[in-house]
Amino acid sequence: MQPQVYNWTCSACALTWVLTSAGLRASSGDVYQDRYDVGMEIGYPGNINSTYGLMDASGSALQDVYATYGQATRSEYLDYDTIYSLAQETTGQMSGGTWYHWVSLRGVQGSNIWIANSAPGYKGVYDILSRADFDRLGPFSVVWLTED
């Protein structure tokens, strides 16, 4: 994933990655323009802004964007094992309560969750989220794609 330009845009970066990788939104060929456009879809400045980033940590504004693409989602605070299982079946986004950073679910690698992270190295996490990182940075809110 290309790095984010502004420290408050992680949710827009992660949402853009999921929309594109799931085939819900075509890329324009300019990832930064795509992220800008998705940020506007989230609702700048009411739902996402430079002061607070994503305004609602539950991800409800993200779910609203997915709905405009006809994509069903669910959102909950989940434990590591549940997210690990989800990452093997679907994609989505998650944010840690003490991390205050949104990333995308890519899958798993061994016993770790593989993520798409627009701020690699932030608080010691690159593209793998270990159970120890999860425990240190949680609790985690997750928005994931569903079939219903």
Q: Where on the phi/psi map is residue 145: left (φ > 0), alpha (ψ -120 to 50), or beta?
A: beta
CATH of 10-145, one of 3.40.50.300, 3.90.70.10, 3.30.70.20, 1.10.1040.10: 3.90.70.10
What pTM does this model have? 0.97
pLDDT band at 128 (very low <50, low <70, confident <90, very high): very high
Give the C-alpha separation, 13 to 38, whole Å: 8
Predicted confidence at residue 148, as pLDDT, reads 82
Give the C-alpha separation, 35 to 134, whole Å: 26
Predicted confidence at residue 30, as pLDDT, reads 97
Query: For the chain, what are the domain ranges?
Result: 10-145
How does pLDDT run across 78-103, given as a tens digit for each residue? 999 999 999 999 999 999 999 999 99
